[in-house]
Amino acid sequence: MVYLVIAVVAGILLAFLGNAIYGMTISSFIECLGIVLSVVSGCVAFIAFLAISVCGWSWQSSKYKADIINREYNTQYTRQEIFYASDVIDTVRELDRKRIELNGDLLNK
């Protein structure tokens, strides 16, 4: 999560740097390089911001999911386990399920 925040900040800084390069140079090649740097870093920052939004929502909700699962099933799952390994937890619960299958007539032996 911290790496995504760093990526957004770096993308924003690179976009401002590219814009400053674009405005301060006379050479057309460096001017073009500044425009490309601004556009690419702005797109990367936007994508990273979207990733932070989605992952941040899941990270916050994993705490509440862990509390509910721990209360209902008397377990000790943490927020990290729910966030990173929720599909594994579901698989283990399915495999550990106790079932009794009844075949035949229950009233007559």
Classify residue 102: in a domain, yes or no.
Answer: no
Mean pLDDT of 37-57: 85
Model pTM score? 0.58
Classify residue 103: in a domain, yes or no.
Answer: no
62: its two tokens: 């994993």
The C-alpha atoms of residue 19 and residue 33 are separated, in whole angstroms, by 10
For residue 106, the model assigns a pLDDT of 61
Classify residue 106: in a domain, yes or no.
Answer: no
Domain count, the chain: 1
What's the domain range around 46? Answer: 2-95
Classify residue 100: in a domain, yes or no.
Answer: no
61: its two tokens: 């909700």
Classify residue 64: in a domain, yes or no.
Answer: yes
Out of 27-36, 44-53, 93-102, give the one with best mean pLDDT.
44-53
Classify residue 107: in a domain, yes or no.
Answer: no
Classify residue 66: in a domain, yes or no.
Answer: yes
Taking each helix axis from N to C terminus, what angle separates 2-24 and 28-73, rounded to the nearest 10 degrees?
160
Show Cβ contacts of residue 60 under 8 Å, excluding neighbours closer than 6 positions: none
Q: Taking the CB of residue 92, how many other CB atoms lie within 10 A of it? A: 11
Classify residue 58: in a domain, yes or no.
Answer: yes
